[in-house]
């Protein structure tokens, strides 16, 4: 099984060919091709390539499926006996990427 560990938006993701990963919002349209080149590790059966800090010549080719929103997180600030109550909600936006190919040169 061929897979790679990559970094996008300061977070690390495991990318397997044909799988779908959700990364932080990228400003691209659906159907566009995105090449992620911050590849930290590539495993291809018994062959393992570890980067220092990245693997030279390794890229992960992906295709943008679309954007989606994560679950709603409610933040409630409360101070007893002071009439301070504030409710704030947040939904993080993500970009769905389909891993097309992992290339190591």
Contact 67, 32 (CB under 8 A): no
Q: Classify residue 9 by its DSSP letter.
A: T
Q: What is the pLDDT along the chain (105 residues), one digit of tens a residue?
A: 899 999 999 999 999 999 999 999 999 999 999 999 999 999 998 999 998 999 999 999 999 999 999 999 999 999 999 999 999 999 999 999 999 999 998
Q: Give me the domain span that covers residue 69.
A: 2-104
pTM over 0.75? The answer is yes
Q: Classify residue 56 by its DSSP letter.
A: T
Q: Give the C-alpha distances (Å, rounded to integers) separating 32 from 45, 49, 62, 83, 101.
A: 30, 28, 9, 50, 15
The reported pLDDT for the residue numbered 62 is 97
When divided into structural domains, the chain yields a total of 1
The reported pLDDT for the residue numbered 25 is 96
């Amino acid at each position: 099984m061929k897979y790679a560990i990559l970094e996008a938006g300061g977070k690390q993701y495991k990318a397997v060919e044909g799988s779908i990963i959700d990364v932080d919002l990228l400003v691209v349209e659906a159907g566009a091709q995105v090449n992620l080149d911050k590849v930290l590790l590539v495993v291809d059966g018994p062959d393992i390539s570890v980067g220092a800090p990245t693997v030279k010549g390794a890229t992960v080719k992906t295709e943008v499926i679309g954007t989606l929103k994560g679950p709603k997180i409610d933040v409630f600030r409360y101070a007893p006996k002071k009439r301070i109550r504030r409710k704030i909600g947040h939904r993080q936006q993500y970009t769905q990427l389909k891993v097309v190919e992992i290339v190591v040169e």
